[in-house]
Each structure stands twice: as structure tokens, then as C-alpha cells.
Amino acid sequence: MTLLKRVKSLPKNFVWGGATAAYQVEGATKVDGKGKTMWDDYLKQQGRFAPDPASDFYHLYPEDIILSKMYGLNAIRLSISWTRIFPEGYGKPNQTGVDYYHRLFKCCIDNGVTPYVSLHHFDSPKTLFEDGDWLNRKNIDYFVDYADFCFKEFSEIENWFTINELISLAFSQYIQGNFPPNHHFDVSNAIQAEHNELLVHARVVNLFKDKGYTGRIGLIHVLQPVYPYPNTPENTHAAQCEDAFMNTFLLDGTFKGEYEPDTMKLVNEVLKANDAHLTIEPGDMETLKKASTRNDYFGMNYYQPSFVAAYNGESTNTFNGTGEKGTSSFKFKGVGQHVKNPEIPTTDWDWNIYPKGLYDMLKWVSKTYKNCKTIYITENGLGYKDEYKGIGEEIDDEPRIDFIDQHVEALLKARNEGVDVQGYFVWSLQDQFSWANGYNKRYGLFYVNFDTQAREIKKSAKWFKELADTMGS
Ligand code: BGP
């Protein structure tokens, strides 16, 4: 049966959205009192890509929201830029920034495009980043104050997420070294950042519930299933180690409020192999425990699995930030090395295309974590070099349609087998700035001409609308 027929089984109000993140779309990094994030000077020093004007969403949001509505989207993922509200991360709020988000949210709501808002999407204030980012517990207090301010101020928002992709941040900053501060295989800092980010989330959820704010709150993890390749006992063990470090540690902390002994056994193996350690302070686990039953939903991002073989040599990696196929490699001492599974297609950025991974993760999470109730797929999509055909010409992005088609199919299968999935956000709404890849890695339903900021419609946007129109019919 075609996907078009199958989406009829979804309710009319199934959340069907496009995702964005403040720093990747807004541009306007130096206007209206905004403070610097950890990215501004770093990108300037690197000289590879500029964050301005990105997709100029700061000024063009009315157009993007109207396009969303026209193309059948009933929801949008947005993030608030912490430094538009508190330029230094703390202190006196910047009213111009506050007013901007009120206008943006109003525009979404007036057009029937429900905003789902994250408080942090990879963009810590520069001042706090230089002071240790999430490794410095003082910064957790500042974030809690910022969150409290937002909950009080933006009462029009019903759906909140605390942090986006805790692992991507910790992993990119301290293992892979492609986010500032560019540490490679600094395993102590990576695991500490994971734990501290869980604490940030838990403290904010506890505050939200204790103060009786209305609305719903959760967090977003990207799940990257890990499969042994080829399937041998050594490779299976390597896959379990990576899975514990990348997925289970965070899910245990979020939904069980404790790190299960089986998880810790594997994580400790990784730490030992890398002469690394994790510090858990008195009271931390109580905070996680209290929050673990209080998440209203879970945002799951899914892009790709990894295929892993055992590896005990020195850690090394090369990052494909250009879209030149076959240029990435990853070898993590005491964990495993990423290998190519010849049966699995990959993108130009060497990401494995494997929709079954989404199904596997949905089934596994809902079976393993009883406190994980409702799930939204908060990001899923294909990075692709879309070809511009001229003003007003449709962009033919058939591979993106295939990608989304297969992943929505996997979602439907899990849902039909009882997993409570209530929404799907494609990454991304419009083309935007990609953190470590710049502007040629496009994900949008809407094409952005980064010279003129004109939007063009991609074939995927029309197809996405057809699905939206068919739902619940
Ligand atoms: C997720 C992030 C997004 C986005 C996406 C695609 O991890 O939440 O912000 O960037 O991945 O990643 P990339 O731009 O590196 O291809």
C-alpha cells in the first residue's frame, strides 16, 4: 500500500511540522541588543561560513510561517536564542528580544502553526561558554533562571523542550571536535557534559512542575542505533559500548533517574580504556529521579545508525564537512570503529540511510522506558545538494521524498504496533545554516537562495502537503 493511503490512518490533528533552530535560521546576530553565542567569534576565526544572514528568519518569519500553513504544516519547531533574551546569559532581560519572540509566536499561532519551543539548541552564551559551558555548574543555575523567565513571560507557549540533543553537543564538543571548543576524545569532559546536561534538564522540569506552569515539557535526544558489523561477539560488545555511551546513559538518566548497572558497566569500560572519569555530586541522582516521571513527552530525533566493529588502537577521526563522499572516519579506543556496511546506502556526508533504525528505536524506547509516554519525532530528514533551477522553478528533490517516505512508513509501522507517536517534524522547514557544514548541505522543504533570501518550493514540500491533506480522510 502506498504511503499516501497509509497516512489516512493518522488522525487529522497528527502533528505535522517543520523544524528550525534559532542560530541556524535567524541570522541577525548583531542586532537589537543580542549577545554573542559560543559560535560567533569561532565561526569568524575559522572563516569557513558566516552565521549571517542564515535564512534571515529574524525578518522573514512571516513568509516562512505562511508557507508552512500553505503547505499543510500544523506545527513548527523553534528555539529561543538565550542571548536575545539575556545577552550575557544572565542579568537584565533584553526587551527587544522578548518582543521579537512574542511577535514570532503570535504569527505562528494566528496561522494555526503550533510552536514547539526549545530553550537551548547548541547556542550557549559566549560568556558562559568561556566559563566552562555545561561543565561549570554555575551555568546550570543561570539556565534555570532563564527557563523560569521564559515560562513566565511566554505563557502563549504550550509545548516546551529544554535542551536539544544533549549527546550531539557533548560528542561534537569533546569527542569529535567539530563544535567549539574542538576537543578530540576528551572522554571525561564528554561524559561529564552528558551528566550535567541531564541535570540541567531535570532541574528545569522540576521547576516547571513545582511552580505549576501550564503546558507540557520534555527534552530532545537524537538516537543513533548501533549495530555490530559484521555480527561477531567482539563487534557486538563494541556496539553495546557505543550504545551505552551515546544512547542508554542519557535515556536511563532521563526516564529512570538512575544509570542502570548494565549501562554503567559498559560506560565504565569506555571510561577506563580512556583514563577518564565522571563525577556525580551528592543530590544529583535525587534531582534526576524526581524529574524522571515528570516529562510530558519525548522528542526523538533520528537520522542514522552506526555500524561498528571492535577497535582498541588509538582514537582518531576525520569529519566529512564538505559533502565529499567517503571522507569520514571514526575510531574510538575501547569503544569501536565505524565501518561501512555495503548493503546500506549513504548520503554525500556519509550518513547511513536506514529507516528501520527509526522503527527499532521507537519500539525499544517505548518497551524499555515506561516513563517515556508520548513520542514526537522532532527531527528527521536528508542533507542533500539541491539544484537551483531559477526563480519560480520547482526544485526536484526526489531523494528527499524517498527518504521521508521510508521514515514515515517506519513511524507508521511502530505506531500501528502500539507505540504512541503523535507527531513528525521534518528537518528542516527551510534550508538553513548547518553547524559544521555551512550552506551547501540543504535539508529544507523550502529552498533558500542565500544570496537573495528568496524562497523556492521544492517538490518535497508539495508531496508533504499531499500527505497532510490525506491524513485522517
Ligand atoms: C541535528 C541538529 C540540527 C541539525 C541536524 C542536521 O543534530 O539538532 O541542528 O543541524 O542535526 O545536522 P547537520 O547540519 O550537521 O547535517
Residue 66 has pLDDT above 80, yes or no: yes
User: Which residue's CA lies nearest to atom 10 of ligand 1?
Assistant: 434
Residue 104 has pLDDT above 70, yes or no: yes
DSSP at 344: S
Residue 53 has pLDDT above 60, yes or no: yes
Residue 8 has pLDDT above 80, yes or no: yes
Regarding the beta carbon of 154 and ligand 1, being less than 6 Å apart is answered: no
Angle between helices 233-243 and 261-273 in degrees, nearest 10: 100
CA–centroid distance, 337 to ligand 1, in Å, is: 22
In this predicted model, what pLDDT tens digit does every residue of 374-385 receive, in sequence order? 999 999 999 999
CA–centroid distance, 221 to ligand 1, in Å, is: 12
Mean pLDDT confidence for 186-194: 98
Confidence of residue 373 (pLDDT cuts 50, 70, 90): confident
Regarding the beta carbon of 382 and ligand 1, being less than 6 Å apart is answered: no
- Identify the CA nearest to 163 among candidates 207, 124, 129, 105: 124
Contact 288, 202 (CB under 8 A): yes
Mean pLDDT confidence for 52-74: 98
Residue 1 has pLDDT above 60, yes or no: no
Residue 340 has pLDDT above 90, yes or no: yes
Confidence of residue 207 (pLDDT cuts 50, 70, 90): very high
CA–centroid distance, 436 to ligand 1, in Å, is: 9
Contact 363, 412 (CB under 8 A): no
Confidence of residue 64 (pLDDT cuts 50, 70, 90): very high
Residue 278 has pLDDT above 60, yes or no: yes
pLDDT at 328: 96
Taking the C-alpha atoms of residue 459 and residue 395, their distance in angstroms, rounded to an integer, is 6
| Average pLDDT over all residues of the chain | 97
CA–centroid distance, 300 to ligand 1, in Å, is: 13
* Angle CA 272–275–281, to nearest 5: 80
Confidence of residue 430 (pLDDT cuts 50, 70, 90): very high
In this predicted model, what pLDDT tens digit does every residue of 231-274 receive, in sequence order? 999 999 999 999 999 999 999 999 999 999 999 999 999 999 99
Regarding the beta carbon of 74 and ligand 1, being less than 6 Å apart is answered: no
Every domain of the chain and the residues it spans: 3-224+297-303+346-470
In this predicted model, what pLDDT tens digit does every residue of 389-416 receive, in sequence order? 899 899 999 999 999 999 999 999 999 9
CA–centroid distance, 391 to ligand 1, in Å, is: 27
Alpha carbon 344 to its chain centroid, in Å, reads 23
Residue 165 has pLDDT above 90, yes or no: yes
Beta strands in 157-237 (DSSP E): 159-164, 216-222, 226-228
Taking the C-alpha atoms of residue 185 and residue 168, their distance in angstroms, rounded to an integer, is 14
pLDDT at 4: 85
Instruction: Write down the CATH number for the domain with range 3-224+297-303+346-470.
Output: 3.20.20.80
Regarding the beta carbon of 252 and ligand 1, being less than 6 Å apart is answered: no
With 0-12 CB in 10 A as exposed, 13-18 as middle and 19+ as buried, what is 42? middle
Instruction: Please choose from 176, 346, 427, 441 the residue to mutate so as to test ligand 1's pocket, defined by most ligand atoms within 8 A of CB.
Output: 427
Regarding the beta carbon of 165 and ligand 1, being less than 6 Å apart is answered: yes
Counting from 1 in the atom list of ligand 1, the atom nearest the Cα of 165 is: 8
